[in-house]
A and B are shown apart, each in its own frame.
Chain A
Amino acid sequence: MTSTARETVLGRIRDALALAGPGEVTVERAYRTGRTLPGRERLELLTGRLVDYRAGVRTCTADRTAEAIAEALRERGARRVGVPAGLDPAWLAAFDGEVRQDSADVPAPSLDALDGVVTASAVTCAETGTIFLDGSPDQGRRALSLVPDLHVCVVDLSSVVAGVPEAVARLVPERPTTLISGPSATSDIELERVEGVHGPRTLEVIVRTDA
């Protein structure tokens, strides 16, 4: 049955195109691509966007990563924190709470018992304030950065690009990719914005300015 439906649908499309003919078109990409911005401008742009989304944002140098993470977790009162298996253990050295390393067989309801999660990130788009996670070992599986209510995300300034085309060009399509622009939000009730529905209600971003 399914193969019949396949042939039918493909046959219908060919018929439709034969009846009406193809549309005339050339795809021109006259929009901005390959933009570069100095580090300072990328940082400013990104910070402004994140604040606009009501995410927390702080900067540090790479040698202060552990302190910055510990500070963000402490401020939010997180005691039990999940990390992906590939995250540098030194990043949690200054945190005095409980650290749980994630693995694929940890069921999702257990993740719900975490106060927060710390991950790295793949790429970030400054113009839209969008962080891309791609499931690399230091970012972990998607459930890990989704279920806990606090996400502390480390962004290296060298991975921050100007616009969306520059960000998409850096992605590996086959990897499960999540774009995050601030904490989860809804405007479904009388268009009043409410932060935090199902995803993490709090997003803390740490930008490492020399990494």
Chain B
Amino acid sequence: MSSPTGGGTFLGLPAVPSRPPYGTGNLRGDRAFPEAAREELGNDQLRRNLAKATRTIRGKRLAVTAELPDWEQLREAGAAIKTDTMNRLPELLEQLERKVTEHGGTVHWARDGVEANEIVTRLVQESGSDEVIKVKSMATQEIGLNEHLESRGITAHETDLAELIVQLAGDRPSHILVPAIHRNREEIRDIFRAGIPGVDPGLDAVPAHLAAAARAHLRKKFMTVPVAVSGANFGIAETGTLSVVESEGNGRMCLTLPRTLITVMGIEKVLPRYRDLEVFLQLLPRSSTGERMNPYTSMWTGVTPGDGPQEFHLVLLDNGRTAALADRIGREALNCIRCSACLNVCPVYERTGGHSYGSTYPGPIGAVLTPQLAGMDAAKNDPNSSLPYASSLCGACFDACPVKIDIPSLLVELRHQHTERSGTTAEKLVMRAAAAVMRRPALFTAAQRVTAAPGRLVAGRDEVVSRLPPPFDGWTDSRDLPAPPRQTFRSWLASEEGAATLREAAEEGRRDREGRAAGREDDDEEAR
């Protein structure tokens, strides 16, 4: 099931915990970031939708975080509680297990996604149902639960509106908070017309009407399907209380109406005390949707006779989390509360969208968390190796993060690890060049300028570089230009400028690491 290595202490020597088997779950794309990004950059609809979405949420978030005079103290507390949690993870998980069990729930442990999928499948089969209703959950997306259930003849109905859109379209989520943000209303209308049985064929593209169509479709499922699968935002060790934060009420439906509830929770989601909710119930909604509070939050402890599901299962998922924990720097990524603020401030995410990252977790946090969980396999030309380079290291994500994860430093560390491991390869150089371009606005500008002069290619050492390598060749708003001939990475790298850029990148990387080690000043994120 899982590999025998990393299976705990052997003869008293701690072993590096093993990661989920290569090729399982949704923590790895099928191609490297620059390549995927190049394609996405050509999608104007995506870029317009994304730019609008991220701008809107950014504004709301800044307004509601600025109105709290103790926002910084809340962030400090949030970060500290998370670090404290990681230090005490074994005892906290055992306490959580004990409390959930005391209150009538059953706790299961899963070493990886494959095992979690099998546990959930078995529990659904035991319930006698061949359908489940699902609350939006990153963990089950990460492990590919829906696909697995499908392969066993069990239909999983996503009930979050955006997840439903994504599911009906056979698509992948592109944002943590608003997974269908790459779709516009007309596309959604067409998806609903094609995918919802019995839907009004005259359904129009008014968002309220589309939401009403989803409501009518899902209401039947809520009333009849006897098993629900959810994730969890928090699990309180002290009391055994689980919590789901949401907006639409589909979460409440799933957590309340079925007979059986199965919750899949990453082991890093545990919090020590019930009181800690006072911090995270302020940090999460304000950072996430930019609201003072999200419309609904559900908290439940095991089973309550006469109220809600009478059978409750909690599946505690590792799937690479312990491997991340074994990395003293990288483990900070486990503190993430999945608010998506870092996505919304990231200039790279805004241009490339979530799909380019190839993982359930996109954006800045995805670029650090995905390689931490799933690894960067040097032997397999792993697309994850490109993720630490999908950043300009501008620092906006750090400033936005409610639990103060220093994502830029984590990225630099991951780049360092990748470089150490992969030796001097063409790929390494390409990645470093990619990083160098992403980090410097002047090169962005150059890329835009030269794109307007199609047809000029590098001919020799004295020629001007007219095209930057992909994905930067698409880094422009002038999408209606005829596509000029494209220079390859390799020929650009062979040029004087390519070599100079690489030298600079190496130098900057070195300064960066030193600078960060010496401590860094927080910049005002809007002033970047």
Confirm or deny: B300 has a beta carbon within 8 angstroms of a beta carbon on chain A.
yes
B216-232 vs A, CB cutoff 8 Å, 1 = contact: the mask equals: 00110011000000000
On chain B, the residues within 8 Å of A199 by CB distance are 248-249, 252-253, 295-296
Given A30-B70, A141-B307, decide whether A173 and B325 contact each other with a Cβ distance below 8 A: no
Contact A7 B8 (CB under 8 A): yes
Other-chain contact of A30, B76, B250, B277, B299 (Cβ < 8 Å): B76
Confirm or deny: A158 has a beta carbon within 8 angstroms of a beta carbon on chain B.
no
Contact B73 A30 (CB under 8 A): yes
CB distance from A172 to the nearest CB of B (A): 10
* 8 Å CB interface, A170-201 against B: 171, 173-192, 194, 196-200
Can you name the residue of chain A whose Cβ is closest to the Cβ of B209?
Answer: A194
Can you name the residue of chain A whose Cβ is closest to the Cβ of B282?
Answer: A164
Contact B248 A8 (CB under 8 A): no
Q: Whole-angstrom distance between the alpha carbons of A181 and B64 in the complex?
A: 15
Contact A23 B86 (CB under 8 A): yes
* 8 Å CB interface, B27-84 against A: 49, 52-53, 56-57, 69-70, 73-74, 76-77, 80-81, 83-84
Other-chain contact of A190, B49, B108, B300, B301 (Cβ < 8 Å): B49
On chain A, the residues within 8 Å of B87 by CB distance are 17, 22-23, 25
Q: Whole-angstrom distance between the alpha carbons of A31 and B73 in the complex?
A: 5
Can you name the residue of chain B whose Cβ is closest to the Cβ of A29?
Answer: B77
Confirm or deny: A12 has a beta carbon within 8 angstroms of a beta carbon on chain B.
yes
Contact A16 B325 (CB under 8 A): yes
Q: Whole-angstrom distance between the alpha carbons of A25 and B155 in the complex?
A: 45
Given A197-B211, A199-B295, decide whether A9 and B111 contact each other with a Cβ distance below 8 A: yes
Given A26-B80, A184-B248, A188-B160, decide whether A179 and B211 contact each other with a Cβ distance below 8 A: no
Given A6-B109, A146-B252, A168-B278, decide whether A183 and B7 contact each other with a Cβ distance below 8 A: no
* 8 Å CB interface, B182-241 against A: 184-185, 188, 207-208, 210-211, 214-215, 218-219, 222-223, 236, 238-239, 241
Q: Whole-angstrom distance between the alpha carbons of A32 and B73 in the complex?
A: 9
Contact A2 B109 (CB under 8 A): yes
Contact A32 B69 (CB under 8 A): yes
On chain A, the residues within 8 Å of B210 by CB distance are 189
Contact B53 A191 (CB under 8 A): yes
Contact B297 A185 (CB under 8 A): no
Contact B248 A197 (CB under 8 A): yes
Contact B325 A30 (CB under 8 A): no
Q: Whole-angstrom distance between the alpha carbons of A194 and B292 in the complex?
A: 17
Other-chain contact of A12, B17, B53, B281 (Cβ < 8 Å): B17
Confirm or deny: B293 has a beta carbon within 8 angstroms of a beta carbon on chain A.
yes
B285-314 vs A, CB cutoff 8 Å, 1 = contact: the mask equals: 100010111111111110011111000000
Q: Whole-angstrom distance between the alpha carbons of A28 and B84 in the complex?
A: 11
Confirm or deny: A36 has a beta carbon within 8 angstroms of a beta carbon on chain B.
no
On chain A, the residues within 8 Å of B305 by CB distance are 104
Other-chain contact of A141, B236, B249, B308 (Cβ < 8 Å): B308
B83-108 vs A, CB cutoff 8 Å, 1 = contact: the mask equals: 11011011001100000000100001
Q: Report how many residues on chain A are interfacial, defined by Cβ distance under 8 Å.
A: 79
Contact A23 B83 (CB under 8 A): yes
Other-chain contact of B278, A104, A164, A200 (Cβ < 8 Å): A164
Q: Whole-angstrom distance between the alpha carbons of A179 and B52 in the complex?
A: 30
On chain A, the residues within 8 Å of B80 by CB distance are 25-28
The residue in A19, A22, A112 that gathers the most chain B C-beta atoms within 10 A of its C-beta is: A19
CB distance from A28 to the nearest CB of B (A): 7
Contact B77 A19 (CB under 8 A): no
Contact B296 A168 (CB under 8 A): no
List of 10 A-B pairs having minimum Cβ-Cβ separation, nearest first? A11-B8, A199-B249, A104-B306, A198-B249, A16-B326, A12-B322, A12-B17, A184-B249, A16-B325, A15-B14
Other CB < 8 Å A-B pairs besides A26-B80, A31-B77, A175-B304, 16 of them? Answer: A9-B110, A10-B93, A13-B93, A13-B322, A18-B9, A27-B81, A32-B69, A127-B292, A142-B307, A146-B249, A168-B277, A177-B299, A181-B292, A188-B211, A197-B211, A198-B250
Task: Provide 7 A-B residue pairs closer than 8 Å at the C-beta atoms, listed in order of the A residue.
Answer: A9-B110, A15-B8, A20-B325, A165-B278, A168-B277, A176-B300, A187-B289
